[in-house]
Structure 1
Amino acid sequence: MQNALNIKRISAASVEAAEICCLLDEAQVESVTVDSHCWAAEYPYKPKMEVRVAHNGKQLLVNYRVTEECVRAVAPHDDGNVWEDSCCEFFLSPVADGSYYNIECNAAGTLLIGFGKGRDDRKRATKDILDTVDRWASMGRAPFTDIEGERTWQLCLAIPSTAFFAHDLQSFEGLNVRGNVYKCGDMLPHPHFLSLFPIDIPKPDFHRPDFFGNVMFE
């Protein structure tokens, strides 16, 4: 069982999303498997998902790699229902004040970011903030309906520290915080819910900071 997500610091500055895969390869950043299948009895389908994460102080650099039997990216614009699509999510509490951010992105790089202390009454990032997150999607950036047949796709995000908009986060360096990584697809032919750190409750709910694990930035 994964007990911590360790995030390596790399020296590259002002990284674009399209560069992330090569940079993480060069820095030998290892993939972590996201495979806690917490609700397997009700949702038995289990896609394959790996994540690699690094930072350069000012940017969080995320690379998701997913293999699944159907890929969907219908949400027409940022701040839409991306969790209904083939979606990768990173939840992070950068400050120990009970709050956390949910960064959710579908296979076409369509994004939402929310902030708050629970599922209800979350504050959404504005368009100006969302636009600062650079994205690269192996399946392209245009929305698309269900593509059947098993395939592997990748998604990269270059997330500036300023995207954590409710905090004055100067740098990721040395942070020892809490978070989780998820894969979902609520409206896919076979809905599924995977997490990096397990969630021990009866029904799917990713908004559970009480089950976050340790996220340690070099």
Structure 2
Amino acid sequence: MTYRLRRCSNVPPLRAEWNDPAWLAAETAEVGCFHPQSSNHRPRTFVRLMCDDENLHGIFKVEDRYVRCIRENYFDDVWKDSCVECFIQPKPGGGYFNFEFNCGGAHLCCYITDWKLKNGWFTQAVKLPAVIGGKILVKSSLPRLVEPENKEAVDWTLQFLIPLAVLEEFTGPLAKLSGQTWQGNFFKCAEEVSHPHWASWSPIEELNFHQPGSFGSLRFD
């Protein structure tokens, strides 16, 4: 699996608008590999990424149902809500970042260098402090909270901006992006809802998103 990350000709405004002209140059990938343990609700999910000299820009579009969102703070358990996720590994053999966003716009992120679990947590991982995680900008088309669960069909979008400086706090200098190939994966999940599901862009086997060996390629054109 390869996703080609193109350079922004115009920086997308942070409005969570999938059809904004600034996104038309971006490649669209579908997050369509559902784990067999998923319910029969399998929402179509799409993602676009672009970059400029200072930031990564991303947007998800989800054709959803049974949407629920009750977490609203940085580092709440956002993956238990209706959620989208972007994992990126900038340097071969190095650590990776898990950017996880619920549909209301709350998020979390770690830098993980050893994803084996010990006492319920990664062997080597750093939670991005709020002063750093707060530099990641997020905009959702949905309200901050969705409770009770919305059982009707609803399309929602979530846009994010990740400053490269946030990554470099942990990876060191990333140099010019053009021509680089990173590794990563995109996910859609919802755990504490009536119809739980887990989907990825690059296929995974066991029900665990933290599988760097299953990451696809993110190629900067």
Q: TM-score, normalised by structure 1?
A: 0.88
The structure 1 segments of at least 4 consecutive aligned residues displaced by more than 6 Å after TM superposition are none
Q: In the alignment, which residue of structure 2 is the partner of 1:149?
A: 152
**Correspondence for 1:30 among 27, 30, 40:** 27
Q: Deviations over 1:27-48 (max 9, x none)?
A: 43232111012x2255443111
RMSD, aligned CA: 1.9
**Correspondence for 2:180 among 175, 182, 205:** 175
CA contact (8 A) 2:136 2:162 kept: yes
Q: CA deviation at 1:170?
A: 4.6
* Aligned residue pairs, count: 210
Q: 1:210 to 1:137 in 2, by over 3 A?
A: same
Tell me whether 1:163 sits opposite 2:166 in the alignment: yes
Q: Which moved more, 1:82-91 or 1:131-140?
A: 131-140
CA contact (8 A) 1:58 1:172 kept: no
Q: CA deviation at 1:20?
A: 6.7
**Correspondence for 1:116 among 106, 112, 136:** 112
Q: CA deviation at 1:52?
A: 0.9
Q: Which moved more, 1:122-131 or 1:171-180?
A: 171-180
Q: In the alignment, which residue of structure 2 is the partner of 1:188?
A: 193
Q: CA deviation at 1:76?
A: 2.6
Partner AA of 2:200 in structure 1: S
**Correspondence for 1:197 among 192, 197, 202:** 202
Partner AA of 1:29 in structure 2: A
Q: In the alignment, which residue of structure 1 is the partner of 2:119?
A: none
Q: CA deviation at 1:66?
A: 0.4
Q: CA deviation at 1:153?
A: 0.3
| CA–CA separation in structure 2 for the residues paired with 1:24 and 1:40 | 36
What secondary structure is seen at the aligned counterpart in 2 of 1:149?
coil
Q: CA deviation at 1:16?
A: 4.6
Q: Which moved more, 1:28-37 or 1:75-84?
A: 28-37
Q: CA deviation at 1:49?
A: 0.2
Q: Percent identity?
A: 24
Q: CA deviation at 1:91?
A: 0.6
Q: CA deviation at 1:97?
A: 2.7
Tell me whether 1:10 sits opposite 2:15 in the alignment: no
1:2-151 mapped onto 2 (5 Å cutoff): 3-12=1-10, 16-18=13-15, 21=18, 22-25=20-23, 27-37=24-34, 39-40=35-36, 43-117=39-113, 118=115, 120-121=122-123, 122-140=125-143, 142-145=144-147, 146-151=149-154
CA contact (8 A) 1:87 1:185 kept: yes
CA contact (8 A) 1:91 1:180 kept: yes
What secondary structure is seen at the aligned counterpart in 1 of 2:205?
coil
| CA–CA separation in structure 1 for the residues paired with 2:75 and 2:177 | 25
Q: CA deviation at 1:100?
A: 0.8
Partner AA of 1:144 in structure 2: V
| CA–CA separation in structure 2 for the residues paired with 1:67 and 1:143 | 18
Q: 1:200 to 1:115 in 2, by over 3 A?
A: same
Partner AA of 2:170 in structure 1: A
Q: CA deviation at 1:144?
A: 2.7
Q: CA deviation at 1:167?
A: 1.5
Q: Which moved more, 1:208-217 or 1:71-80?
A: 71-80
Q: From the two aligned structures, give the one with the greater strand fraction.
A: 2
| CA–CA separation in structure 1 for the residues paired with 2:108 and 2:177 | 21
| CA–CA separation in structure 2 for the residues paired with 1:106 and 1:12 | 26
Q: TM-score, normalised by structure 2?
A: 0.87
CA contact (8 A) 2:66 2:150 kept: yes
